[in-house]
Amino acid sequence: MNIYVAGVATTKFGELWDVSPRMLAREAVTGALSDAGLSVGDVDALFVGNMLSGLLGRQEHLGAFFAEELGMKTPAFKVEGACASGGLALHNAINSILAGQYATVLVLGVEKMTDHKPEDVATALMGAGSDEERAAGATFPGLYALLARVHMEEYGTTEEEMASVAVKNHEHAHLNPNAQFQNLLTVEHVMRSSKITDPLKLLDCSPISDGASAIIVTGDKRPFGQTQGRQETGKNAIRIVASAVATDTLGLAQRKSLTELRATREAADRAYAQAGLGPDDIDVSEVHDCFTIAEIFALEDLGFFRKGSAAAQITRGSVSLGQSKRLVVNPSGGLKGCGHPVGATGVKQVVELTEQLRGTAGKRQVPRARVALAHNVGGSGATAVVHILKR
């Protein structure tokens, strides 16, 4: 069975104090339905990706919450896997279609983080780590700082090379009207920003954001009577040809290796096998740069560059829009530039890649993009989700 992306949409990401989670969801879903040429009555099930609705907003039951808000009475689910919640929601939606359970499924990634104090959000985000890490007073950036130091000592990766990840992703975000940040950065800006958790500085870290993204996925079987959807014909049909998930230990201390995120590597290996493709086939990728070091790990663990060599490649412009001859990474601006409303990110990545493959990415368009890979991580690498899309 083929899985098609029938419709996509995303809201602006940012500090959106006057926009509620309901408004975010309605905007994203209305956009995706309109893009697909469908109405809410055509949808068989709703999967919601979100991490913090309970801890911050005291609302856990999001399947029912958003189904009601959207005027749906279908089966509805909240799917959670820390920052991989969005990717996991899509994975589950695809599985439900492959199982023949539902035919047209709506995936909504949504997160509201800026209603709360940063220190409370930091505490909530540590729900992605282990008890031991919470007791140590570690923060989420702190965990990635521990990984960064090992990578720096093992491979000579420098703080300046890490900073160039932020510079590149802001260059891309500058071209994205939905991105939280449109300002350009220099390596010096990043190096001079305040230390959050050595060696990570403010501008090494993705922001706290609000936002929602939505995708409608369908299978080969025509789910609706006479209605014609956009997914049906020809070169605009974007297919999801792989969807893979892998799990590693919750906490860093229990990992086998500190220089790779094994969950990323396993999910990627499985996804490449599902698609019958390899890293060299990928034209454009959205990877999980929650912190600058995370993009460096990602490009190595996804097989794009040899272990220890990604930092220099990124600095050189090898994966930048307009400079790369082979692969562009994070054309949306990534988590750093576009923003990181936790549950929305995994879905936004696939929205961006769909636009890239359709050729509708405007100033961010990667020329002749035909195969795309989305990489979404939960916690410090406990969960990884990889999707591959093809035109």
Partner 1 sequence: MSSPVKIWRNQKEVARLVGATGVIVSWTIVRVPPADYGDQAPYPVVLLSLGNGKRLTAQLVDWEPRHLKHGQRVVTVIRRVTQPNTDDVIPYGLKVKPLS
Q: Which residues are catalytic?
A: 83, 340
Q: How far apart are CA 238 and CA 274, in angstroms?
A: 16
Q: Does the footprint of partner 1 cover residue 300 (CB under 8 A)? A: no
Q: Does the footprint of partner 1 cover residue 253 (CB under 8 A)? A: yes
- Mark the segment that binds partner 1 (CB under 8 A) among 66-74, 138-146, 275-283, 351-359: 138-146
Q: Does the footprint of partner 1 cover residue 134 (CB under 8 A)? A: yes
Q: How far apart are CA 312 and CA 305, in angstroms?
A: 10
Taking the complex as a whole, how short is the minimal distance between the CB of residue 360 and partner 1, in angstroms? 39
Instruction: Count CA atoms closer than 13 A to 169's CA, side-chain side.
Output: 36
Q: Does the footprint of partner 1 cover residue 147 (CB under 8 A)? A: yes
Q: What type of residue sits at position 83?
A: C
Beta strand 284-286 with 371-378: parallel, antiparallel or unpaired?
parallel
State the DSSP string of 104-135: EEEEEEEE--TTS-HHHHHHHHGGGS-HHHHH
Q: Which residue, 151 or 172, is less far from partner 1 as judged by CB?
A: 151
Q: Does the footprint of partner 1 cover residue 68 (CB under 8 A)? A: no
Q: Does the footprint of partner 1 cover residue 204 (CB under 8 A)? A: no
- Measured from the Cβ of residue 368, the count of other Cβ atoms closer than 10 Å reads 9
Q: What type of residue sits at position 199?
A: P
Taking the complex as a whole, how short is the minimal distance between the CB of residue 313 and partner 1, in angstroms? 24
Q: Which residue, 85 or 130, is less far from partner 1 as judged by CB?
A: 130
Q: Does the footprint of partner 1 cover residue 315 (CB under 8 A)? A: no
Triad 377, 379, 380: Cα angle to 5°: 90
Q: Pick one of 10, 96, 197, 349: the residue that binds partner 1 (CB under 8 A).
A: 197
Q: Pick one of 68, 120, 188, 220: the residue that binds partner 1 (CB under 8 A).
A: 120
Q: Does the footprint of partner 1 cover residue 150 (CB under 8 A)? A: yes
Q: How far apart are CA 222 and CA 242, in angstroms?
A: 21
Q: Which residue, 237 or 258, is less far from partner 1 as judged by CB?
A: 258
- Joined together, the tokens standing for residue 18 give 């006057």
- Joined together, the tokens standing for residue 88 give 């996991």
Q: Which residue, 138 or 214, is less far from partner 1 as judged by CB?
A: 138
Q: Which residue, 118 or 177, is less far from partner 1 as judged by CB?
A: 118
Q: How far apart are CA 171 and CA 332, in angstroms?
A: 10
State the DSSP string of 93-107: HHHHHHTTS-SEEEE
- Mark the segment that binds partner 1 (CB under 8 A) among 16-24, 194-202, 367-375, 382-390: 194-202
Q: Pick one of 59, 60, 77, 149: the residue that binds partner 1 (CB under 8 A).
A: 149
For residues 45 and 79, is the Cβ–Cβ distance under 8 A? Answer: no
Taking the complex as a whole, how short is the minimal distance between the CB of residue 303 and partner 1, in angstroms? 25
Q: Which residues bind partner 1 (CB under 8 A)?
A: 117-120, 122-123, 126, 130-139, 141-142, 145-147, 149-150, 153, 194-200, 251-254, 258
